[in-house]
Chain A
């Protein structure tokens, strides 16, 4: 029996009057890669940002229902949002390196968490960059501005940056939407390598990407979860005709 890491029950979300998620219920297992597919505007990204409460930054964001992370209600009273976000790393659609050096980008979160020891930070940076598959390319120029890296390198830097926080979960919001096929391939390789240690939730517009890397896939449409199941099942024999229509490219 697989361990449930995240339990979502009847979770709904709105931005002001606009309903963005309608009564979502699903489980996310430990150390799986869950792919989330669906057309734009289907609530995929909002769902991701509900998991680390990044929606809180948007005015008029309200939610109801339950999200439990390792048994703890993340919207419950007394929950430290800061601690929560340290457990959940997030990679955005466009890589956003902060305007500082490669090194400072990687250790940013750890510095904010209070780590000061220069040697430890150095080790952490190396370890994280290695895991993200970027170390060899940048090891001689860690002091270079992160803005000078290529798009693909920046995205792997963003992955290294969250790995440095030693999170349990990694959320990726269309991480390769702006990248070329080779950079995309490198990122997918890193994801497969990371699966043993982390639980990964991958939102993607590219259904083929979900088919390539996800263990299970969820299909969102208009703020609803249409279906969720083993990736093979979803792609070979979806139970809902809308899923079939989307995957075979009849809409979306």
Chain B
């Protein structure tokens, strides 16, 4: 027997609402738990002073800098390569065997567990190329890990730009390059940026890749060839080795707040950008 449509709609609506609430609840639970455990340890001093005695005392300044440096290197490498690949796949070639192979390759890359990237980065950058455990090795390995996400999100964003825009641009005597840089990319920027934010989030939180390639030195990094510990690795080591749970949670709290802040700031800038262009 079929239930009455109105009742059915009510049930579906209630069920969907429940699922949404569940998602939000899980998020709030995790964030709340971390903040509750971590915030007491967080102070201005905790953020601005270097760890002392393996992290038992002191703050996390050097790990914040390490995280920023690694993420910066990773995104600065992965974003141009990824966006370039996406532009090539969408604008400079018809769909053919090669593009399908590239796309399939990127999909496969996306499915590889991050620890494999870590191992690969260790063998190639740390060992073979002799970059050692360093921000450079870590950044390059992270960049490999981020590439598929950036390619896919950029490609989707570029495909969403109406074909009419390209047609109009060409009909007004633009070159291919002008059409891509002045018309297509500006319209695709919000989507591309979203992909990059996701990547930043992933590389800030990544542990496995970094531990293999950037090492876990607690000193403040001074160059691309310094070994460095990120906040996520710091948290892992503090918790895993039972060095200081309160400092571990403090680190986690700063990590979460940083990621939230980056998200909010970028969406704010993005909104401003969109308002300016449309």
Among the 9-residue stretches A33-41, A81-89, A201-209, the one with 4 or more Cβ atoms under 8 Å from chain B is A81-89
Q: Is the CB of B167 within 8 A of A112?
A: no
* Stretch touching chain A among B17-25, B32-40, B150-158, B168-176: B168-176
> For chain B residues 131-176, which have a beta carbon within 8 Å of chain A?
162, 164-175
Quote the shortest CB–CB distance from A80 to chain B (angstroms). Answer: 10
Contact between A54 and B170, CB atoms less than 8 A apart: yes
The verdict on A247 contacting chain B, using a C-beta distance below 8 Å, is no
Find chain B residues with CB under 8 A from A165 CB: 172-173
Q: Contacts A86-B173, A112-B173: A59 and B94 contacting too (C-beta < 8 A)? A: yes
Contacting pair B167 A54 (CB below 8 A): yes
* A109 beta carbon closer than 8 Å to chain B: yes
Contacts of A89 in B (CB 8 A): 171-172
CA distance A92 to B169 in the complex (A): 12
Residue from B162, B167, B168, B172 with most neighbouring chain A CB atoms (10 Å): B172
Rounded to whole angstroms, the CA-CA distance of A230 and B174 in the bound complex is 35
User: In the assembled complex, which residues on chain A have CB atoms less than 8 Å from the CB atom of B172?
Assistant: 85-86, 89, 108-109, 112, 161-162, 165
Instruction: State whether A96 and B167 are in contact (beta carbons under 8 Å apart), knowing that A59-B94, A82-B175, A147-B278 are contacts in the complex.
Output: yes
Q: Which residue of B lies closest to A97 (CB)?
A: B168
Q: A76-115 vs B: 1/0 string, CB under 8 Å?
A: 0000001101100110101010111000000011001100
Instruction: Find the A residue at minimum CB distance from B172.
Output: A109
A57-B183 CB under 8 A given contacts A82-B174, A83-B173, A145-B278: no
Whether A99 pairs with B168 at a CB distance below 8 angstroms is no
> In this assembly, does A52 line the interface, its C-beta being within 8 Å of a C-beta of chain B?
yes
Docked CA distance A113–B174 (Å): 7
B123 to chain A, nearest CB (A): 42
Q: How far is the CB of B222 from chain A (nearest CB, A)?
A: 44
Please indicate the chain A residues that have their CB under 8 angstroms from the CB of B63 in the complex: none
B277 CB–A CB distance under 8 Å? yes
* Cβ contact within 8 Å between A54 and B171: yes
CB distance from A141 to the nearest CB of B (A): 16
The reply to whether B166 and A57 form a contact with Cβ atoms under 8 Å apart is: yes
Contacts of B164 in A (CB 8 A): 92, 94, 96
Q: Is the interface of B mostly helix, strand, loop or mixed?
A: helix
Chain B 257-278, CB-CB to A under 8 Å as 1, else 0, gives: 0000000000000000000011
CB within 8 A of A90: which of B94, B171, B178, B183? B171
B165 touches A96 (CB 8 A): yes
B187 within 8 A of A: yes
Q: Nearest chain B CB to A109's CB is how many angstroms away? A: 4
Question: What chain B residues lie within 8 Å of A86 (beta carbons)?
Answer: 172-173
A131-164 toward B: CB 8 Å interface, digit per residue (1/0)? 0000000000000010100000000001001100
- Whether B187 lies near A99 (C-beta < 8 A) is yes
- In the assembled complex, the Cα of A57 lies from the Cα of B166 at a distance in Å of 9
Q: Give which listed residue, A85, A94, A158, contacts B170 with CB less than 8 A.
A: A85
In Å, the complex CA distance between A100 and B172 comes to: 15
Contact B174 A112 (CB under 8 A): yes
Cβ distance B184 to chain A, nearest Cβ, rounded Å:
11
In the complex, A94 Cα to B172 Cα: how many Å?
Answer: 16
> A57-B166, A96-B164, A99-B277 in contact; A52/B187 too (CB < 8 A)?
no
Report Cα–Cα, A147/B274, bound state, in Å: 13
B182 located at the interface, meaning its Cβ lies under 8 Å from any Cβ of chain A in the complex? yes
What is the minimal beta-carbon distance from B56 to any residue of chain A, in angstroms?
Answer: 55
Chain A residue nearest in CB terms to B95: A59
Find the residue from A112, A158, A161, A162 having the highest chain B CB count within 10 A: A112
Q: B169 — which chain A residues lie within 8 A by C-beta? A: 98, 108, 112
CB-based nearest A residue for B174:
A112
- Shortest Cβ distance from A167 into B: residue: B173
Question: Which residue in chain A gives the minimum CB-CB distance to B274?
Answer: A99
Minimum CB–CB distance from B177 to chain A (whole Å) comes to 10
Assess whether B167 is in contact with A92, with CB atoms less than 8 Å apart.
yes
Q: Of the candidates B162, B173, B277, B278, which one forms a contact with A113 in the assembled complex, judged by CB atoms under 8 Å apart?
A: B173
**Proximity bits, B61-101, A CB within 8 Å = 1, else 0:** 00000000000000000000000000000000010000000
- Distance in Å: Cβ of B46 to nearest Cβ of chain A: 45
- Residues on A with beta carbons closer than 8 Å to the beta carbon of B182: 112
Seed contacts A96-B167, A113-B173, A147-B278; 9 additional CB < 8 Å A-B pairs: A54-B167, A57-B167, A86-B172, A89-B171, A89-B172, A98-B169, A109-B172, A109-B174, A112-B174
29 interchain pairs (CB within 8 A)? A52-B171, A54-B167, A54-B171, A57-B167, A57-B170, A85-B170, A85-B171, A85-B173, A86-B172, A89-B171, A92-B167, A92-B171, A96-B164, A96-B165, A96-B168, A99-B186, A99-B187, A108-B169, A108-B172, A109-B172, A109-B173, A112-B169, A112-B172, A112-B174, A112-B182, A145-B278, A158-B168, A161-B172, A162-B172
6 cross-chain pairs, A with B, having the tightest CB-CB distances, nearest first: A86-B173, A109-B172, A96-B164, A85-B173, A112-B174, A90-B171
